[in-house]
């Protein structure tokens, strides 16, 4: 865990004003306080002083000390840990119900979403967690006058019971018992169900709309979110520096990307597109931010026009010096408050405007419509080109994975040497791994909070260790470690499952079946046009054979120094029509979880690549494995593997050994040589 800055005494606004003035900062004390309110709402991350660059480029030690002091003071005023379960959850629910009454609503939808539909949401958008205590990365609460429910997916079945008070909320599996069914049962006939139009897409609401209409009721867009109305100490919007992402990592100039998106709009007969995914905006303009945890996203909206120009709507205070030059002539920057007016201008010109189905808020769609524009639901025009990494990005990903492989391998060697005494626990493992990663060149952050699950904790799919749940790594148990990093040249995500002491035959059987699934997918060849959904079963088949499965997707897209979860492709049993294309990165992560006993997952990132053309053959694709870390051979049971599967594992281990050994210290190299011996040897 990174250390908080030392917090010296804050000498007061007058002294700070003087310091600002003498440094030549453009900020006065009021603007600075506004800035710092945003800074404490942004994650601290691994580079907690970066934000000071927004105050002044040349800073005296005295200024830095006082900025840190002000930050500490304002951070101390932040509300307590969101996840904390306590008696005030009942009060919050009661307050919300009173507010609903005031707004003449019979109910309200509280999604775990912000106006960007992102996976990470800033503290001010953590309405679901604030209200219910649930901190998972996906979920929905439905609050009616007499009854409420929280809907979660398979990853959070255990967690929701831990975090949410069952006396206040029903627990529901979002696909097995969807909100629609619950509404049809519990919404009063003719009921008015409120929603915040900034937090939902048109498609996202359609099933709920149908259910509400079936009860003769209607959905009501709220001007003011009723949760915000009763959330007295709601945090500010985050502010973190927005910086250039150099072309040496991005591989393509932003101007070229803008021209490409403009040409696509032209081809589709569209005038403009709303860019409502911050990752798309980051990709399109070759910029990165730090507004949400573990992902270098700058929150904001953009309008991409068919002529290749872009209007960016973003808090001006967060633009690092020099960014406007980097953005160039084709990009205008305005504060977010101007966004609505820009949509109205498109309306007055009767423009056809693409709105991304998966992230475009209903507020945007309705604003366009009422202003006279034609919103055209479609796919974010950046999504596909962003997903298909160029040669520079692929080469960066390979380099990043080599460095990441060194860090994880050093950790695994360290673990083998130290775990025997029974002193290593989950949190210590997280910290040790973090230390190894921080040594890597171009390291910027972790790509998500490490999942470090010993024994039964490994069976909690999206487990996060805390001092309360922290567990020693014990003999005869399995240890599941899912982690990743953000490097300037690439994003990593890897899971390894390690045997502590001697595993049982059942553990080895299950692990080997998971591995067989991993290999079947990793070694697959498939025709162009194939989607990830079509391949999903390959990863599950060896488990299905013995009546087992796992309740999560098999693979997610990964960004290039961007989100560790990105679309539009995925490998999942959930239908997805997006064909895999060369350059796409995707995880390959089958697993098996025995509740109360252990969890197993084997995850590598892979890149889609074209197979060499063969006369008489269709154009085929396959996967290049990017991740370079040994798989625990002590858990492999060669007896249930085919010769091809064993050959795949041995070849992978040989490649890991050859790639990493030159970069390792001698003891780790020795450990690696042993860890990568042929299976069955």
Give contact residues for a second copy (rule: CB under 8 A). 184, 210, 213-215, 268-270, 352, 374, 376-377, 524-527, 530-531, 533-538, 541, 544-549, 573, 575-577, 611, 614, 616-618, 620, 642
**197 touches 225 (CB < 8 A):** no
**Least distance in angstroms from the C-beta of 547 to a second copy:** 3
3-state secondary structure 591-641: EEEECCCEEEECEEEEEEEECCCCCCCCCEEEEEECCCCCCCHHHCCHHHC
Measured CA to CA, the distance from residue 347 to residue 352 in angstroms comes to 9
Chain centroid to CA 91: 31
For 222-359, strand residue ranges (E) read 243-244, 272-275, 287-288, 301-305, 310-313, 331-334, 352-356
Q: How many CB atoms lie within 10 A of CB 332?
A: 16
3-state secondary structure of 544: helix
Least CB distance to a second copy at residue 461 (A)? 16
Nearest to 261 by CA among 374, 365, 380: 380
Closest CA to 203 of 22, 394, 359, 340: 359
C-beta of 61 vs 269, nearer to a second copy? 269
Least gap, CB of 104 to a second copy (angstroms): 23
Instruction: Report CA 280 to chain centroid distance, whole Å.
Output: 14
Q: Minimum Å distance from CB 646 to a second copy?
A: 15
**CA-to-CA distance for 258 and 273, rounded, in angstroms?**
11
Residue 26: CB minimum distance to a second copy, A:
45
Minimum distance of a second copy from residue 509's CB (angstroms): 12
The Cα–Cα gap between 579 and 58 comes to 49
Beta bridge partners of 525: 622
CB of 268 to a second copy, least distance (A): 7
Cβ 371 to a second copy, closest distance in Å?
A: 17
- 323: nearest Cα among 422, 254, 222, 397: 254
Of 28 and 549, the one with the shorter C-beta distance to a second copy is: 549
- Whether residue 144 contacts residue 105, with contact meaning beta carbons closer than 8 Å, is answered with no
Strand order in the sheet with 620-625: 525-527, 620-625, 604-610, 585-588, 555-557, 566-571
**Minimum Å distance from CB 171 to a second copy?**
19
Residue 535 vs 679, nearer CB to a second copy: 535
CB of 678 to a second copy, least distance (A): 22
Structure token digits, residue 41: 């709402």
The alpha-helical segments, DSSP class H, found in 268-331 are 278-285, 323-327
Minimum distance of a second copy from residue 280's CB (angstroms): 21
- Choice between 49 and 525, CB closer to a second copy: 525
Neighbour tally for 37: CB within 10 Å:
18
Q: How far is the CB of 218 from a second copy (least distance, A)?
A: 12
Structure tokens at 368: 């366009």
Q: Can the peptide bond before residue 568 be classed as cis, meaning omega within 30 degrees of 0? A: yes
Nearer to a second copy, 392 or 622 (CB): 622
Shortest distance (Å) from residue 4 CB to a second copy: 46
Distance CA 507, CA 499 (A): 9
With a CB cutoff of 8 Å and minimum separation 6, the contacts of 39 are 51, 71, 74, 238, 239, 240
Tell me the closest approach of the beta carbon of residue 545 to a second copy, in angstroms. Answer: 6
Q: Which of 427, 509, 505 is nearest to 464 (CA)?
A: 427
**In the complex, least distance from residue 537 CB atom to a second copy, rounded to whole angstroms:** 5
Rounded to a whole number of angstroms, the minimum distance from the CB of residue 378 to a second copy is 8
Q: Output 235 or 532, the one with its CB closest to a second copy.
A: 532
Tokens of 527: 């025709």
The structure tokens listed for 643 are 């010769």
Q: How far apart are CA 666 and CA 629, in angstroms?
A: 17
**Nearest CB to a second copy, comparing residues 534 and 587:** 534
Q: Say how far apart CA 419 and CA 32 lie, in whole Å.
A: 48
Surface-to-core class of residue 153, CB atoms within 10 Å of its CB (0-12 exposed, 13-18 middle, 19+ buried):
buried
Task: Kindly tell me which of 184 and 442 has the beta carbon lying closer to a second copy.
Answer: 184
For a second copy, give the closer residue by CB, 24 or 505: 505
Complex with a second copy: residue 30 or 617, whichever CB lies closer: 617
Residue closer to a second copy, measured from CB, 269 or 662: 269
| Minimum CB distance to a second copy, residue 555 (Å) | 14
Q: Which is nearer to a second copy, 77 or 547 (CB)?
A: 547
Read off the tokens for 538: 């390959």
Q: Which of 78, 60, 70 is nearest to 35 (CA)?
A: 70
- Do 487 and 400 form a contact (C-beta atoms < 8 A)? yes
SS3 584: coil
* Ramachandran assignment for 320, one of left (phi > 0), alpha (psi -120 to 50 degrees), beta (any other): beta
């Amino acid at each position: 865990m990174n250390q908080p800055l030392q917090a010296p005494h804050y000498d007061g606004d007058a002294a700070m004003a003087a310091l600002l003035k003498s440094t030549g900062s453009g900020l006065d004390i009021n603007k600075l306080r506004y800035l710092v309110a945003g800074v404490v709402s942004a994650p601290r991350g691994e580079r907690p002083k970066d934000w000071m660059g927004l105050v002044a480029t040349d800073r005296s030690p005295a200024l830095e000390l006082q900025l840190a002091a002000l930050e500490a003071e304002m951070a101390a005023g932040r509300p307590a840990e969101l996840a904390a379960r306590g008696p005030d959850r009942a009060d919050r629910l009661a307050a919300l119900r009173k507010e609903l009454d005031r707004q003449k609503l019979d109910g309200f939808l509280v999604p775990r979403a912000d106006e960007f539909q992102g996976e990470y949401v800033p503290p001010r958008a953590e309405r679901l967690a604030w209200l219910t205590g649930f901190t998972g990365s996906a979920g929905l609460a439905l609050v009616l006058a007499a009854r409420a429910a929280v809907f979660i997916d398979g990853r959070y079945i255990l967690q929701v019971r831990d975090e949410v008070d069952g006396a206040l909320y029903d627990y529901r599996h979002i696909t097995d018992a969807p909100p629609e069914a619950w509404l049809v049962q519990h919404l009063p006939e003719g009921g008015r169900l409120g929603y915040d139009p900034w937090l939902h897409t048109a498609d996202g609401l359609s099933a709920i709309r149908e259910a509400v209409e079936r009860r003769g009721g209607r959905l009501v867009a709220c001007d003011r979110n009723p949760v915000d109305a009763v959330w007295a100490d709601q945090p500010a919007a985050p502010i973190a520096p927005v910086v250039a992402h150099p072309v040496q990592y991005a591989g393509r100039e932003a101007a070229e990307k803008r021209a490409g998106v403009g040409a696509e709009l032209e081809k589709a007969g569209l005038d403009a597109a709303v860019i409502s995914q911050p990752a798309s905006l980051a990709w399109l303009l070759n910029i990165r931010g730090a507004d949400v945890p573990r992902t270098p996203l700058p929150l904001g909206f953009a309008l991409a026009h068919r002529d290749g120009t872009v209007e960016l709507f973003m808090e001006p205070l967060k633009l690092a010096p020099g960014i406007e030059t980097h953005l160039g002539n084709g990009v205008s920057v305005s504060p977010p408050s101007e966004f609505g007016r820009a949509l109205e201008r498109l309306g007055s010109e009767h423009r056809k405007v693409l709105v991304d189905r998966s992230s475009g808020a209903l507020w945007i769609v309705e604003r366009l419509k009422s202003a006279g524009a034609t919103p055209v639901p479609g796919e974010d025009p950046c999504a596909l080109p962003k997903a298909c990494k160029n040669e520079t990005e692929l080469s960066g990903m390979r380099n990043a994975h080599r460095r990441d492989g060194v860090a994880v391998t050093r950790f695994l060697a360290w673990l083998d040497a130290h775990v025997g005494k029974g002193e290593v626990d989950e949190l210590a493992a997280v910290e040790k791994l973090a230390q190894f990663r921080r040594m890597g060149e171009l390291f910027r952050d972790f790509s998500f909070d490490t999942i470090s699950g010993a024994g039964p904790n490994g069976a909690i799919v999206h487990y996060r260790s805390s001092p309360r749940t922290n567990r020693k790594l014990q003999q005869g148990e399995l240890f599941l470690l899912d982690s990743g990093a953000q490097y300037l040249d690439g994003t990593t995500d890897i899971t390894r499952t390690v045997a502590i002491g001697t595993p049982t035959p059942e553990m080895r059987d299950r692990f080997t079946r998971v591995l067989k699934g991993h290999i079947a997918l990793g070694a697959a060849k498939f025709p162009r046009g194939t989607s990830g959904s079509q391949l999903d079963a390959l990863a599950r088949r060896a488990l299905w054979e013995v009546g087992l499965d796992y309740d999560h997707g098999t693979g997610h897209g990964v960004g290039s120094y961007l989100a560790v979860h990105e679309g539009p492709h995925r490998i999942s049993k959930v239908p997805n029509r997006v064909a895999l294309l060369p350059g796409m990165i995707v995880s390959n992560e089958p697993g098996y979880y025995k509740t109360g006993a252990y969890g197993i997952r084997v995850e590598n990132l892979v890149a889609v690549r074209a197979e060499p053309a063969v006369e008489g053959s269709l154009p085929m694709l396959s996967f290049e494995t990017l991740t370079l870390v040994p798989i625990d051979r002590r858990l492999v049971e060669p007896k249930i593997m085919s010769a091809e599967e064993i050959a795949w594992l041995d070849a992978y281990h040989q490649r890991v050994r050859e790639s990493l050994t030159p970069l390792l210290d001698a003891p780790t190299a020795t450990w690696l040589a042993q860890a990568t011996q042929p299976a069955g040897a």
